[in-house]
Structure 1
Amino acid sequence: MDLPQQRRAKQTWGVRVAWLALALLAALYCGWRFAGPAPLETNLLALLPATEADPVAEKAVDTLASALGDRTVLLVTSRDDAHAKAAAKQLGAALQKSGAFGSVTAELPPFDLSQIAALYLPYRFGLLTPADRATLAPPNAQADPTALHDLLAQRLYSPLQGGLTTPLADDPFGWLQRWLGGLPLATSNLTVEDNLLVSHQGDGEKATTSVLLVATLPGSAYETKTQRAVHAALADAESALRQSFPDVTVARAGAVFYAQAARSASEREVHLIGIASLCGIALLMLWVFRSPRLLLLGFVSTALGIVCALAATLLIFGKLHLLTLVFGASLIGEAVDYSIQYFVVYLGAGRDWDARRGARTVRPALTVALATSLLGYAILMWVPFPALKQIACFAIAGIVTAFASVLWLLPALLTRAPKRSPRRVFAGAARLLAHWQRALAGQRAWLVAALLLLAAVPGWLRLTSDDDIHLLIQRDASLVAQEDKVRAAVGVDNSAQFFVVRGDTPEAVLQRAEALGAKLDALDALDGGADAVGGYQSVAQFVPSARRQSEDRALLAQHVFNDPAALRATLLQAGFKDEVADAWLAAYAKPQAPLTVDQWLAVPWSQPYRHLWLGAVGVNAQNPANAPNASNGANGANASGYAAVVIPQRVTLHNAPALIALAHDLPGVVFVDKAASVSKLFGEYRVDSGWWLGGALLVVAALLMLRYRVRGGLATTLPVVLAVGVALAVFGYAGVPLNLFNWLALMLVLGVGANYAVFLREGCLRAAADLGAVWTGVLLSAATTLLSFGMLAMSAMPALRSFGATLALGILVSVLLAPMGMPTATPARKPGARSSESRRAA
């Protein structure tokens, strides 16, 4: 072996070792990440963009999701009351014993309701219900002098009541007891029976008893380890329950179940899409190339792209979204395109094969194709949608790696000339191309384009859109049915729409929450009830503002304690002992600071309601004019302060506009509807994406005109432009509403579909190129891409289904029209011929 050959051999082995090191490094990093806590992101909210202009509203969404996400609810139902209760106890004991849950509450622990009254007792003279306030100082009227006597008599002689009661000596007129009765402690259909939370539904033979169990998770609902432990524990417990109580059913609700179902579905789709793509691509490549070696090398390049893409995505984002995982499996078809083009040059060279010259030959076509593909994916990076940013990052890293491996690794592995070449396949492809080019190329291309546009116009006029987020992220139907059953039994309808109330101080927040509460009460009082919310939960119901407490105390001072001697006489006449009356009067006379939120948060029983108080916040709020549902006063540069949430019990299509109007009318209040906000944002970006697509088309046309001159650039761009137009027309004729994902898929149709015309035109520019081999490579590339991206159209995720269907349709039209971009000087050039354009390019 001479010196140049030795140097070349060393360089070849150096390239192989470098790529092997890169592959090992990426694989080890991915293995290390998956060996620990699974990096797969199953939280559907994490897939969605930030939609609220006020970051505090986004914080509220996250806070509520966290508060409710780690809580799991089970509903045990039977027509036999005793069976339902016994089964609930058995299920609770089994789940607690399993260790899969942090805590399981079936039977309520002993709780002294007097603990709730004990918090408020020192502040009782500043706590009045609206009814008591109206009784003491009725609007537009004088206070009834006998009202106090009536209240006292009602308190003394009314029958004993359950629930929150106060000692007669501490609350002789019952003001505190009635105020405690208005606390939103049990805004549901549940009652306590035998220390169980029970709901009764139906009458007669259809009557059922449901018992509620509440469990908390030891970790995040989105951790794979937690999901598997919960799934196994429930499966075992329900199996034992069916043997003991065959008539009992169990419904479940909780983020952990949706996360586990989403993860399982994505894993199934990854396996389905990945295996189907691999098998289909392998069969196609074997049928065309008749070489297991080329098949293996093609998958080496593709595997490198996917492993490096996975490593880069995990390194940059830390987590891997479900959409990214499923999309990654479909990237196989696009990544293998570059190696296919290299193999076509390899087989076409025959005995004259030189690996480095082959790389130089294919480099221009692959470079132009890479540029157009990167443009399509780069646009996704600008969309403020975490999942799409990840998909773009994954795809860019994958195709860049595949591109580099074709130009540098494959020449180091494919050094020997091919033993045989599929000449019959290439000859057949050449004949097909010659016939197809005669029908499309030259002046006929513009005629075909005009006819396609005429046929497409009616379809465009029929186009509609639907940006509802619920159509894009589909939840497991079985889990939705079970959750609806739980909601019906509990009687709480809403947990997704709420108000965020902000202020510079806690006192300002409480005052604004009280104003909002008054407006919500007014909606409930309207005739007809269409706008009624059926109640709400607010921190101001637990802790009135200092101003409200002061006003209530002043009201008592004016109408009750204005004559202490007469008041004492009234109490003594009613039978109160002297020391009791004096102690009560002394308690009022003692100065008392108002009750604060911090004092309420400090008591253990407030834990289930602490998510209502967001506490101190400090953000750079944006201009409300740019914000959906933004209200006046909820913004400001470098704004800081405090915030709370108010949750209406029932939000419907009828009352939602009224609730949004309330937020606009009240300072510091924002109505948050995450689903509606995302849908609105999707609609805005769907409109914007049309402009992005137009701009991208101009950029691609300019890029191709730089390469092929003006006429050649326009001809090469024409197929993909028509592909976009035809795809839109098909959706219009089919009556399929468009969403953001359809338009983003058209971006990739532009980026990927333009490659086929580029590959053909570059084949015409190459000296001694076999156009039959080039057309074979184009068809094979399109087939592999269709196979992988087309599989997305079968995904259970509606977003990916829209994405895949649009991509498949656009790519199919792109490859069929690709011969439009061929130079007119080469209608059916034989191997070894050279066009005038190739001579000019040379």
Structure 2
Amino acid sequence: MDVPDVPDVPDMPQQWSAKRAWGVRAAWLLLALVAALYCGWRFAQSSPLQTNLLALLPATEADPVAERAVDTLASALGDRTVLLVTSNDDTHAKAAARQLGASLQKSGAFGSVTAELPPFDLAQIAALYMPYRFGLLAPADRAALAGGASGASLHDMLMQRIYSPLRGGLTTPLADDPFGWLERWLAGLPLATSNLEVEDNLLVAHRGAATSVLIVATLPGSAYETKTQHAVLAALAQGESALRDAFPDVSVARTGAVFYAESARSASEREVHLIGIASLCGIALLMMWVFRSPRLLLLGFVSTALGIVCALAATLLVFGKLHLLTLVFGASLIGEAVDYSIQYFVVYLGAQRDWDAWRGARTVRPALAVALTTSLLGYAILMWVPFPALKQIACFAMVGITTAFASVMWLLPALLTRAPKRSQRRLFARAARVLTLRHRAIGGRRAWWVAALLLIAALPGWLRLTSDDDIHLLIQRDASLVAQEDTVRKAVGVDNSAQFFVVRGATPEAVLQRAEALGAKLDALNGTANGVGGYQSVAQFVPSAKQQGDDRALLARQVFADSAALRASLLQAGFKDEVADAWLAAYAKPHPPLSIDRWLAAPWSQPYRHLWLGEVDPATQAYAAVVIPQGVTPRNEPALIALAHGVPGVVFVDKAASVSKLFGAYRVDSGWWLGGALALVLALLMVRYGARGGIFVTLPVLLAVGVTLAVFGYARVPLNLFNWLALMLVLGVGANYAVFLREGCLRADADLGAVWTGVLLSAATTLLSFGMLGMSAMPALKSFGATLALGIAIAVLLAPIGMPSESRRAA
């Protein structure tokens, strides 16, 4: 039985008419121009390259609000660039920071640059809270008042406030806060969670003899835009060069998404050039050695180039952006896309002077159709995986190889109309002898013994297989940038924590109440081995209306119940009548509680606004906020997760752990997908070649998958999702070689030496491109490429198993 074929094209005369040939050429030229112009237009605008590593990752959180929180925090931090100017000379460090800040500001590459702090009166913070002071009590004051405040204790509190030594930080006027309740509440605000101090209007950190000055800059656009990256790096290079001349003892450390994005983009571009050029040169040399024809080489690359440019255009059209992972993988697609033209050229050279271009296309069509189907099956499985970059890779590859196949069927016959001038008879004859010997060694009944021996040898390797799904192993960051980031973090004293809580509720008030309940549990946890030290929560800046009401009610019971006695205490302490009366009147005056909107409107709240997500779902009027703990470790993380489960509407988010968990789940599932794909390929090949033939054609790629897994086991290389997904493509691509040999045996006029030469050349080009992919600095692509190269190498070595015995071949 035949597998479903591409649509037949009406039979044509032996010699293509010039008119029809030029029509086909013009149609393909038009397609190439449209695809190329579209790609050029997209790249001429803002760069479509996606350098954001988070874009590689799927939505892992079951709660969409939690996923939005991840994006919000990433955006809030993504447009910030932090520089640390350090010297053992305090004066030099500060002068250098001022100079660098001025240089960066003058460059125009940044939206804003803050080296010297603008004048800011801390009294602005106290001024925001002053009207609401009777609803704001620190936990210690709340506990003291709840325990029963007597006149004597209130008098002692008042005396301590009046005669206490000079206080630092946020202070309040004695007349407006005679008992110091607001001042002590302000002291609990998480305004400073770092080692930085303000000196000479600069943010300074001292570590031993070193003085470090912080410069914070914001970007005018996205950190992932190429234009922004170039401008930032140029401005920094110029500023640091001038700094080295003026202050040789000063060092500058930098961190920010823009640097990681630029590093990833530059690395991927280098790899695209390396893989693309090396693959191109290697494939060109191989094809020239085998075919000895610059014309065939050129036509092979025309077919491949059409596949790649159409794949690029389709991917940009469907996804809008092109991930770096897709770009690097696309460079390695050259080796696979050229396979189809290689098979056509083998038939062309074998035909000698009896050449009909259309008949040649019909000759290779069954083999290429089966090969295309198996390859598309392997890539289609990638479309089911919820990783955006893998979906892009699948789209790119499927369009690329389909276009390459179509060009072999309908373009090359219009270009290769003349018979070949020479043939590689001697090379083909040697290849035929090698194939015959190889088939006699591993084909026929011996195939079962070969399979048994390989499985026995592979079994210990399978038993040694391990896995590692840690996402950090799959995303390589520039070591120099990581070291500089660590330097900045140690100087500033900010914990490198990417875990946080998301608190949601039907109203802002519900969110604040739940955030307060969560904060109480975190405070209680700090007394145990699982404590986090501190945290930032919007409820610390804006208590819930209920908490403010409770605090006011507590003051009403314990302090203001006897206003005459309270007034007398104030007068006795030395307060003037008008001051005491004004304070009592302020309490008596009705005042709404402090609201989120009022706090957000204050300019100084800007660095903390990411703690409030606001309305996240207008349809259900759902609101949310984040609570960011410090000092999250593998030891205390289980306690934090359990704590989140104990508060309604609270989830603990750890993006890296969630992705790693998803990696593990899909790694396990991919084993079942691979088994299902093998069954589908077997069924397809059995339809084409019969039960026995289908089994023998499938056996080489099945053994290739098994032996590849065993090699990883023996080498103690842990498997991840990308290894298993690569095995899907080993199945899709590796099955082609046995198919090509089987189809050659079914053709009466086929030169098996030429067919085997084509198979080896196809495998060599694919191995060359995917082997280069295995040398990628991106761990995900490295796993992908290494697995593909190993599996394909084994599949082609075992491909003769799929050939029928000599007695069963076409006469």
TM-score (norm 2): 0.98
Number of residues of Structure 1 aligned to a counterpart in Structure 2: 800
**What residue in structure 2 maps to residue 723 of structure 1?**
704
What is the rounded CA distance, in whole Å, between the counterparts of 1:750 and 1:4 in structure 2? 38
Once the two structures are superposed, residues 382-436 of structure 1 have per-residue CA deviations (whole angstroms, 9 ceiling, x without a partner) of: 0000000000000000000000000000000000000001112111111111111
Task: Quote how far apart the aligned CAs of 1:322 are.
Answer: 0.8
What is the rounded CA distance, in whole Å, between the counterparts of 1:337 and 1:741 in structure 2? 24
**What residue in structure 2 maps to residue 434 of structure 1?**
436
Task: Quote how far apart the aligned CAs of 1:5 are.
Answer: 8.4
Is 1:822 matched up with 2:807? no
Picking from 487, 490, 493, the partner of 1:491 is 493
Task: Quote how far apart the aligned CAs of 1:25 are.
Answer: 0.3
Once the two structures are superposed, residues 554-599 of structure 1 have per-residue CA deviations (whole angstroms, 9 ceiling, x without a partner) of: 1100110011000001100111000000000000001111111011
**Is the 2:14–2:356 contact (alpha carbons within 8 Å) kept by the matching residues of 1?**
no
**What residue in structure 2 maps to residue 63 of structure 1?**
72
**What residue in structure 2 maps to residue 776 of structure 1?**
757
**What residue in structure 2 maps to residue 48 of structure 1?**
57
Q: What is the SS of the residue equivalent to 1:200? A: strand
**What residue in structure 1 maps to residue 589 of structure 2?**
590
**Is the 1:89–1:106 contact (alpha carbons within 8 Å) kept by the matching residues of 2?**
yes
**What residue in structure 2 maps to residue 83 of structure 1?**
92
Task: Quote how far apart the aligned CAs of 1:84 are.
Answer: 0.8
What is the rounded CA distance, in whole Å, between the counterparts of 1:106 and 1:151 in structure 2? 42
What is the rounded CA distance, in whole Å, between the counterparts of 2:376 and 2:122 in structure 1? 64
Picking from 33, 38, 46, the partner of 1:29 is 38
**What residue in structure 2 maps to residue 11 of structure 1?**
20
Is 1:787 matched up with 2:776? no
**Is the 2:435–2:753 contact (alpha carbons within 8 Å) kept by the matching residues of 1?**
yes
Unaligned runs of 5+ in 2: 1-11
Task: Quote how far apart the aligned CAs of 1:8 are.
Answer: 2.3
Once the two structures are superposed, residues 295-334 of structure 1 have per-residue CA deviations (whole angstroms, 9 ceiling, x without a partner) of: 0000000000000000000000000001100000000000
**What residue in structure 2 maps to residue 532 of structure 1?**
531
* Aligned counterparts, 1:425-504, within 5 A: 425-504=427-506
Q: Which amino acid letter does the alignment assign opposite residue 610 of structure 2?
A: H
**Is the 1:51–1:681 contact (alpha carbons within 8 Å) kept by the matching residues of 2?**
yes
Picking from 376, 382, 405, the partner of 1:380 is 382
Picking from 397, 400, 403, the partner of 1:401 is 403
**What residue in structure 2 maps to residue 104 of structure 1?**
113
Residue 4 to residue 763, structure 1, CA distance change in 2 (3 Å): closer
**Is the 2:700–2:795 contact (alpha carbons within 8 Å) kept by the matching residues of 1?**
yes
Once the two structures are superposed, residues 722-741 of structure 1 have per-residue CA deviations (whole angstroms, 9 ceiling, x without a partner) of: 00000000000000000000
Is 1:749 matched up with 2:730? yes
* Aligned counterparts, 1:557-636, within 5 A: 557-618=556-617
Unaligned runs of 5+ in 1: 620-637, 827-835
**Is the 2:111–2:217 contact (alpha carbons within 8 Å) kept by the matching residues of 1?**
yes
Picking from 148, 156, 159, the partner of 1:150 is 156
What is the rounded CA distance, in whole Å, between the counterparts of 2:119 and 2:211 in structure 1? 23
Q: Which amino acid letter does the alignment assign opposite residue 543 of structure 1?
A: V
Q: Which amino acid letter does the alignment assign opposite residue 561 of structure 1?
A: F
Once the two structures are superposed, residues 338-361 of structure 1 have per-residue CA deviations (whole angstroms, 9 ceiling, x without a partner) of: 000000000000000100000000
Q: Which amino acid letter does the alignment assign opposite residue 175 of structure 1?
A: W
Q: What is the SS of the residue equivalent to 2:496? A: coil
Task: Quote how far apart the aligned CAs of 1:639 are.
Answer: 5.0
What is the rounded CA distance, in whole Å, between the counterparts of 2:694 and 2:19 in structure 1? 41
* Aligned counterparts, 1:408-423, within 5 A: 408-423=410-425
Q: What is the SS of the residue equivalent to 1:128? A: coil
What is the rounded CA distance, in whole Å, between the counterparts of 1:148 and 1:253 in structure 2? 51
What is the rounded CA distance, in whole Å, between the counterparts of 1:328 and 1:403 in structure 2? 16
Q: What is the SS of the residue equivalent to 2:594? A: coil
Task: Quote how far apart the aligned CAs of 1:525 are.
Answer: 2.1
**What residue in structure 1 maps to residue 289 of structure 2?**
287
**What residue in structure 1 maps to residue 7 of structure 2?**
none
What is the rounded CA distance, in whole Å, between the counterparts of 1:174 and 1:603 in structure 2? 23
**Is the 1:136–1:147 contact (alpha carbons within 8 Å) kept by the matching residues of 2?**
no
Once the two structures are superposed, residues 210-263 of structure 1 have per-residue CA deviations (whole angstroms, 9 ceiling, x without a partner) of: 110000000000000000000111111111111111111111110000000000
Q: What is the SS of the residue equivalent to 1:652? A: coil
**Is the 1:492–1:650 contact (alpha carbons within 8 Å) kept by the matching residues of 2?**
no
Task: Quote how far apart the aligned CAs of 1:112 are.
Answer: 1.2
Residue 468 to residue 211, structure 1, CA distance change in 2 (3 Å): same
What is the rounded CA distance, in whole Å, between the counterparts of 2:515 and 2:731 in structure 1? 51
**Is the 2:497–2:632 contact (alpha carbons within 8 Å) kept by the matching residues of 1?**
no
Task: Quote how far apart the aligned CAs of 1:146 are.
Answer: 2.3
Picking from 660, 673, 677, the partner of 1:696 is 677
**What residue in structure 2 maps to residue 255 of structure 1?**
257
Q: Which amino acid letter does the alignment assign opposite residue 53 of structure 1?
A: A
Q: What is the SS of the residue equivalent to 1:653? A: coil
TM-score (norm 1): 0.94
**Is the 1:493–1:649 contact (alpha carbons within 8 Å) kept by the matching residues of 2?**
yes
Q: What is the SS of the residue equivalent to 1:146? A: helix
Q: CA RMSD in A?
A: 1.2
Q: Which amino acid letter does the alignment assign opposite residue 584 of structure 1?
A: W
Task: Quote how far apart the aligned CAs of 1:6 are.
Answer: 9.2
Once the two structures are superposed, residues 459-496 of structure 1 have per-residue CA deviations (whole angstroms, 9 ceiling, x without a partner) of: 00000000000000111111111111111111111341
Q: Which amino acid letter does the alignment assign opposite residue 565 of structure 1?
A: A
What is the rounded CA distance, in whole Å, between the counterparts of 1:146 and 1:261 in structure 2? 66
**Is the 1:269–1:326 contact (alpha carbons within 8 Å) kept by the matching residues of 2?**
yes
* Aligned counterparts, 1:539-558, within 5 A: 539-558=538-557
Q: Which amino acid letter does the alignment assign opposite residue 144 of structure 2?
A: T
* Aligned counterparts, 1:116-515, within 5 A: 116-138=125-147, 142-202=148-208, 207-515=209-517
What is the rounded CA distance, in whole Å, between the counterparts of 2:261 and 2:396 in structure 1? 22
What is the rounded CA distance, in whole Å, between the counterparts of 1:331 and 1:216 in structure 2? 39
Q: Which amino acid letter does the alignment assign opposite residue 821 of structure 1?
A: G
What is the rounded CA distance, in whole Å, between the counterparts of 2:90 and 2:155 in structure 1? 45
**Is the 1:334–1:784 contact (alpha carbons within 8 Å) kept by the matching residues of 2?**
yes
Task: Quote how far apart the aligned CAs of 1:10 are.
Answer: 1.2
